[in-house]
Structure 1
Amino acid sequence: MARASTVDGMTTALIVIDVQQGFYDPAQPPRNNPDFEANLTTLLDAWAGPIVLVRHDSAKPESPLRPGQPGNDFLPVLDGVRSELMFTKQVNSAFHGSVDLHRWLRERGIHDLVLAGIQTNWCVETTARVGGNLGYDVTVAIDATFTFDAQGPDGETLTADQLAAATAVNLHAGGFARIARTKELV
């Protein structure tokens, strides 16, 4: 179960997941959290520890996140960010990418993670769950994430706000991660 520890820049890494142009495609369903960009900027500007940038390189031919497409590029909010590590992935979890993130973190004595990025209920949540399973103390900066409305198998649509709330409840109740707001972390 994740501890409600304070953020220590020496042993805590900020992992920024899939902050890419493709999520701004007009074909995307409605999203939540219009303050995402401002909150992520605040977090990045205040961060003293290691920063890890993760980019989703989709293998799907129709995806805007496919390498070589403008949608694969990072958003301007990451311009000038000095990361200690940048790597790609093709699945939801940042722990299953082109770099062995678990080994990289352990070699540096990093035990605590703060997660931010896109999408709250997919790649951020999956990374939080895997990180919690691997023994990291994970905090999700919930207001430095966003997601989109999504339709279930029965045709019912949940709003992005409902999905983000469900993610927060799942991660907290399941002991995978602590849920925090940017102002609590800076």
Structure 2
Amino acid sequence: MEIAENAALVVVDVQQGFEEEAYWGPRDNPEADRNIAKLIDVWQASGRPVVFVRHDSPKPDSPLREGYAGNAFKEYVEERRGKGTGPELFLTKSVNSAFYGTPDLDTWLRAAGVGQIVVAGIQTNMCAETTARMGGNLGYEVFFALDATYTFDAVGPWGWTLSARELSRATAVTLHGGGFARVVRSEELVAAAE
């Protein structure tokens, strides 16, 4: 795996509100936060760009709504912001894709000559997947760090339910099989970036 010297790590919605299990339900991948932290550390130490994305939910009952404690980044993310030797971007969004945020992610990446992005964060099958899909559609080479993401059990139409693990696997198959992104483990990215 070749990771460019200016490959950007896009850290999606790693916010305190996702700790509210009563709202979200059971989650998968308990190692995700550790893996996200490691990726941030390696990206910052190597001088590569890091993008911190925050979801400002317009839903009045969401744990991610503006003005609520859950809107803030998780502590390990907040304490890493501004500590890297490379470029850093903070953007906010109110939809799934980080490419529809403020400031404009695509403009920032292209101005820096970035052609590769690594996506990590929450939720695997929602904002992380949507950001990866759109990145692929926009022509970026996208690496999706599956073990540096997590999601929650969900109910769909007709009462169909999928566990968080099943949803994560579906995301991996869709992204990888559909050519949107290369689905990898965080340890592979760390080894390639160090």
Q: TM-score under structure 2 normalisation?
A: 0.91
Pair 1:18-2:18 in alignment: no
Letter in 1 for 2:6: T
What displacement does 1:26 show? 2.7
Match of 1:85 among 47, 64, 89: 89
| Structure-1 residue corresponding to 2:117 | 113
Identity among equivalent positions (%) equals 56
Q: 2:173 aligns with which of 158, 169, 180?
A: 169
Which ranges in structure 2 are unaligned for 5 or more consecutive residues?
A: none
Asked if 1:29 corresponds to 2:28, the answer is: no
Q: CA RMSD in A?
A: 1.0
Look up the match of 2:132.
128
1:120-146 per-position Cα deviation (integer Å, ceiling 9, x unaligned) = 000010001110000000001100000
Cα deviation, 1:47-101, whole Å, max 9, x if unaligned, reads 1210000000011111111111000000012112326110100000000011111
What amino acid does structure 2 have at the position aligned with 1:80?
R
TM-score, with length taken from structure 1: 0.95
Counterpart for residue 43 of structure 1: 39
Aligned to 2:146: 142
AA partner of residue 146 (structure 1): Y
Greater helix percent: which structure? 2
Aligned length: 181
C-alpha contact (below 8 Å) 1:44/1:81 kept by paired residues: no
Distance in 2 between residues matched to 1:7 and 1:115, nearest whole Å: 13
Shift of 1:175: 0.4
Deviation at 1:102, TM superposition (A): 0.5
